[in-house]
Amino acid sequence: MALKKVSEKQIDQAIQDLHELAYNLWHSWNPAAQRIFQELSPFFWEDTNHNSVEVMNWISGPELKGRLQNPDFFTRVAAVCKSYRDYMKPKGTWADKHATALKHAPVAYFSAEFGLHESLRIYSGGLGILAGDHAKSASDLGLPLYGISIFYRQGYFRQQTSNEGWQQEFYPTFDPARLPLRPVNDKKGNRIICSVPIGNTNVDFQAWAVGVGRVTLFLLDTNLPQNSQFYRDLSAHVYGGDQVNRIGQEILLGIGGVRLMRKLGINPSIFHMNEGHSAFLTLELLREQLQAKKPLVEAQAFVKKHCVFTTHTPVPAGHDKFDRGLMEAHLGPFASSMGMSIDDMMAYGRVHQESPGEGFTMTVLALKMCRVANGVSELHGRVSQEMWKDLYPDIQVSKVPIGAVTNGVHITGWTSPTASQFWSTQLGPKWIEKFRDGKYWKETLESKKLSDAELWGLRTALRRELVEFARRRLREQNLRHNTNDVAMYDNILSPDVFTIGFARRFATYKRAPLLFRDLGWAIKVLTDKEKPVQIIFAGKAHPRDDAGKHFIQEIINITKRVDLFGRVVFVEDYDINVAKYLVSGADVWLNTPRRPMEACGTSGMKVMMHGGLNLSTMDGWWREAYDGENGWKIGEDTTASSDQLQDDLDAASLRAVLENQVIPLFYDRGKDGIPHNWLKRVRHAMASLVPVFNTDRMVVDYTQKMYLPEGSKRK
Ligand SMILES: *Cc1c(COP(=O)(O)O)cnc(C)c1O
C-alpha cells in the first residue's frame, strides 16, 4: 500500500506533539513511543539512558522536519501521538465511576523519592519505585492525584567499583533543561517561589513539574541564588546527608509541599504520606487551622481527617528520629509561630508524651496525625502493629490501627518491549486492559493457543537480551579497570544456561552472599557440565553502609575466581534500566531477605510478565503469593531464634531447593528441547500473580480503604 504524502501542516503538528510527548513519562510505559525516540537518535537514546528530552534537544529543526517527510516514520509518529492525546482526554475511567468523591478533591501523594524512569535519577530503591508505579497506575485509572517530592540536583549516587571491588560513589550534576522537567510558573509566566522556615531562615524554593501521564509530579528545589550555598545544597542528594540535612529536607518536603499546593490553588482532600519523611506536612496543616482561629482540638481533628500514612520500615532504627536540640534549632520559630513551645511540638513525635529525653520520631507524628495507616504487606502490617503498640496502650496489639495494603508493580511499565510485543501478538493489544482479570489470565495461560514452543521462544529471546546487555556492561566496566583483554567479556555467560537474577539495594538483611555460604557447593553446582548455572548480580550499598559494601566486595571477589569466571557477574550502577534487563532475562529471581525485614519487596513481581519464577524466603509479598506451585520458597514461614541460625537454615534450604528441584526442572527437556514441566509452572505463576500483585489493584485498594471519605459509596 502506497503511503500518502505528508503535508507541511501535518508535519508541524507532529513536531509540536513530539516535543510535548518528550516531556511526559507516559512514553516510559508505551514501547511504540519509546521506539520513536530511539529511532530519532539511537546513539543519544542509549547514551542518555533513554532520555527523550535529550534526544529532542540534539535534533535540529530541519532534521526533524526531514525525518518526518518519510511517510512510514510519520505514520508511526502520528499514531503514537494520537494514542497519547486520547489517553490524556479520557472518558469513563475507573475513577470516574468509582471515585467520584475525589473528582474535585484530589490526593496529594508525598514521597521523598520517585522512581519513574532511568533518566530521572531521583530515587534510591524500592520506596521510590513504588511511588513511581503508584503515580502511573493512578494515571491509568484516572484518579486525580498529584505527586510531591524533591528535585535532587545530584540525585542518588552513580556506582563504580575499584580494582579491589570496593564501591565508589560519584555525583554528576543534572541540568534541568536536559531532563523531562518543566518550571512551575504562575499564570503570567513568572516562576513560582515559595519558602519554608528552617530555624530563623526563610529558605526559598522553586518547583519543577514532571508529566506522568495524567498525573503531575512536583519536585521542590532550593537551588536558588537568593539562598545561601548551604541551603542551595539542601536538596542536592537523595538521603545523602547528616541529620541536619535530613531534617531540612523533610521540612522542605512536608511544609514546602503543602505551601506549594496552596500557591497553586490545588485543594487536596487527602495528603498521603508515603513513609514518614513528609510527616511535617501535618504540622503545617495544623498551623493553617490554628491561624484560622480553630481551637486546637478541632484543628487536630481536621488534620487527621485529611491525612493517611503508609509505613515501610520494619526496624526501629530505620525510622527518622530527631533529638530535641535539633528540633528546637530547626523548628523552634515555626512552633512559636503557631503558639507552641518546642516541648509542645515534641509531644507530637514522642511515644511517651512526658518523657523529656525521647526524640521526635516522624513515624509517630504521622501515626498520631492520620486517619488511617498501613503497612505494605500482611506480615509487615502485623510487625508494625507490634512495633508501635506503645502508642496505643489501651488496646490489644491486634487492634492497633495499622492495616495492610500489599504493594504491586505497574505492569505495562515493567514489561519489556519484547515481552510487550509478544503479548500483543498473542492476545491482541487488549492484554493491557485485561491483566487485572484473573479469569481471563487463567484461561489464556491454560489455553492451547499459547503453545509451550512460543512461550519458550519468549524466554530464550529475553535471556539472550540480558546476556548481551551484561556482556556489554562488563566490557565497559573492565575497560575502566585497564583489563588487558576485554574481548574475553564478549564470551562470558551463555544464553543457553539457567540464569539466576539477584538485584536490589545491598542492605545486609537482604543477604546477597547467602548462596555462597558453602562455596564448594556453589562451585560444584554452578559449573556442572550437564546442568550449569549462571548468576547476575547488581545493587548499590548506601554510601555510609560499609557492611553492605563488604557484601558487594565479597560478590565481586567471587566473580573474579578462575573457577567461576563468567558464571557469576556483577553489573555496576543498578538502576531502573539494569532492573528491566534483569527481571526480563532471569529464569529465576532470587530473593533472600532475613524474615521479617523485607516489608514487601517488589522486584520479584517484575518477572511475572516475562515468564520468570520466584525463589524467595517467606517474607513480604511472597508469603502471600506462594501457593506451592507458582515458584519456590526458601525456609519456612517462621523466624528463628537468632540471625546466625536463621542464615544457616535458609542457606541450607536454598541449596537443597536449587539442587533438588529448581535446576533439574529447568533442564528436564522434552524431545523438542523444551522444558514443558518448567513452563507449566511459569503459566501457573503468571495466572496466579499478575492479577494480584500490580499497582492497579493496589491503587484501587488505597482509594477504597484510605482515600474515599468515610461514608462515601465504596464498590
Ligand atoms: C524494583 C526495584 C527496587 C526494589 O526492589 P526490592 O525487591 O523491593 O528490593 C529497587 N531498585 C530498583 C532499581 C528497582 O527497579
Span 290-294, mean pLDDT? Answer: 97
Q: What is the pLDDT of residue 712?
A: 64
Q: How far, in Å, are 68, 106, 126, 603 from residue 407 at the CA level? A: 42, 21, 10, 11
pLDDT classification of 353: cutoffs 50, 70, 90: confident
pLDDT tens-digit map of 567-617: 999 999 999 999 999 999 999 999 999 999 999 999 999 999 999 999 999
Q: Is the pLDDT of residue 486 over 80?
A: no
Q: Is the pLDDT of residue 449 over 60?
A: yes
3-state DSSP assignment of residue 481 = coil
**What cell does 487 get?**
574481548
pLDDT classification of 430: cutoffs 50, 70, 90: confident
Alpha carbon of 537 to ligand 1 centroid (Å): 13
Report the mean per-residue pLDDT for the chain: 95
Span 392-397, mean pLDDT? Answer: 95
Q: What is the pLDDT of residue 355?
A: 84
CA-nearest residue, atom 9 of ligand 1? 504
Q: What is the pLDDT of residue 318?
A: 85
Q: What is the pLDDT of residue 709?
A: 85
Distance CA 273, CA 260 (A): 16
Evaluate: CB of 504 within 6 angstroms of ligand 1.
Answer: yes
Q: What is the pLDDT of residue 714?
A: 47
Q: What is the pLDDT of residue 15?
A: 96
Q: Which residue has the cell 557492611?
A: 547
Span 2-21, mean pLDDT? Answer: 89
pTM over 0.85: yes
Span 492-509, mean pLDDT? Answer: 96
pLDDT tens-digit map of 324-349: 999 999 999 999 999 999 999 999 99
Alpha carbon of 281 to ligand 1 centroid (Å): 27
Alpha carbon of 426 to ligand 1 centroid (Å): 29
Q: Is the pLDDT of residue 507 over 80?
A: yes
Region at 142 (left for phi over 0; alpha for psi -120 to 50; beta for the rest): left
Q: What is the pLDDT of residue 516?
A: 96
574 contacts 536 by C-beta, under 8 angstroms = no
CA-nearest residue, atom 3 of ligand 1? 126
Atom of ligand 1 nearest to the CA of 575: 13
Span 45-64, mean pLDDT? Answer: 97
Evaluate: CB of 619 within 6 angstroms of ligand 1.
Answer: no
Q: What is the pLDDT of residue 366?
A: 98
684 contacts 628 by C-beta, under 8 angstroms = no
Evaluate: CB of 125 within 6 angstroms of ligand 1.
Answer: yes
Alpha carbon of 503 to ligand 1 centroid (Å): 7
Evaluate: CB of 602 within 6 angstroms of ligand 1.
Answer: yes
Q: What is the pLDDT of residue 3?
A: 61
Distance CA 590, CA 534 (A): 12
The pick from 129, 130, 136, 610 for probing ligand 1's pocket by mutation, whose C-beta has the most ligand atoms within 8 angstroms, reads: 129
CA-nearest residue, atom 1 of ligand 1? 603
**What cell does 187 get?**
499564570
Element (H, E) at 699: helix 695-702
Pairing of strands 182-183, 588-591: unpaired
Q: What is the pLDDT of residue 428?
A: 87
Q: Is the pLDDT of residue 1 over 70?
A: no
Task: Return the DSSP state at 174.
Answer: P
CA-nearest residue, atom 4 of ligand 1? 126
